[in-house]
């Protein structure tokens, strides 16, 4: 059975990206295309996914041993813009919890952020530390033992160029620690 690439991308977007995957499902879809259409189809799928807010990465089996899950994992994580992702996550977390952030205000400008919210800097630090801690413990289900284990894994993975969002969040949270 043959389906035109534009139709296949439309079906992928409507049946999987907009609903199934957005609701927590997962799927692997394989498209067999002529070599001259590979980039067109890949770009169309990536464009649809990015328009819906997904992170998009590309892994080439000729360059990555995709049959080895750790190598696939490293290839994927190297392509994610962790600083941008962390910044968006933090802004969303703070906004959802009543901490207003002026347009273009850097999160690291804690004095301006505190003043903008009518708080003292130590009070802002305490609120942000609690929010980050609660979000990490709730959303990631991280126990103390798992956290220590994750830290050890991160140290081991860092030798491969692996970046992890959790240390960036933890470092950001530490920047709010009171002296």
Question: 3-state secondary structure string, 113-170?
Answer: HHHHCCCCHHHHHHHHHHHHHHHHHHHHCCCHHHHHHHHHHHHHHHCCCCCCHHHHHH
| pLDDT over 90, % of the chain | 16
The winner for highest mean pLDDT among 58-67, 94-103, 143-152 is: 94-103
Residue 90: partners with Cβ closer than 8 Å, 6 or more residues away: 107, 132, 169, 172
pLDDT mean over 2-20 = 83
**What residue ranges do the domains of the chain occupy?**
5-56, 82-174
Q: How confident is the model at residue 71 (pLDDT cuts 50, 70, 90)?
A: confident
Mean pLDDT of 98-112: 90
Rounded mean pLDDT, 45-69: 88
Examine the pLDDT at 67 and tell me if it is beyond 70.
yes
Instruction: Pick 87 or 157 by higher pLDDT.
Output: 87
Per-residue model confidence (pLDDT) at position 93: 92
Average pLDDT over residues 4-12: 83
pTM, to two decimals: 0.60
Of 17-26, 69-78, 146-155, minimum mean pLDDT range: 146-155
CA distances from 30 to 5, 64, 70, 148, 151 (A): 12, 18, 21, 38, 35
Residue 142 has pLDDT above 70, yes or no: no
Give me the percent of the chain exceeding a pLDDT of 70. 75
């Amino acid at each position: 059975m043959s389906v035109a690439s534009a139709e296949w991308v439309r079906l992928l977007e409507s049946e999987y990206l907009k609903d199934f995957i957005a609701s927590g499902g997962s799927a692997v879809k394989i498209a067999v295309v002529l070599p001259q259409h590979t980039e067109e189809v890949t770009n169309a799928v990536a464009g649809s996914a990015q328009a819906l807010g997904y992170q998009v990465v590309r892994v080439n089996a000729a360059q990555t041993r995709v049959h080895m899950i750790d190598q696939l994992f490293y290839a994927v994580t190297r392509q994610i813009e962790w600083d941008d992702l962390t910044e968006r996550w933090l802004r969303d977390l703070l906004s959802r919890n009543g901490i207003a952030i002026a347009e273009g205000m850097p999160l690291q400008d804690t004095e301006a952020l505190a003043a903008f919210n009518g708080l003292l800097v130590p009070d802002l630090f305490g609120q942000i530390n609690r929010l980050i801690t609660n979000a990490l413990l709730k959303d990631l289900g991280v126990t103390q033992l798992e956290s220590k284990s994750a830290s050890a894994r991160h140290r081991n993975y860092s030798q491969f160029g692996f970046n992890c969002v959790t240390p960036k969040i933890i470092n950001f949270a530490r920047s709010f620690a009171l002296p």
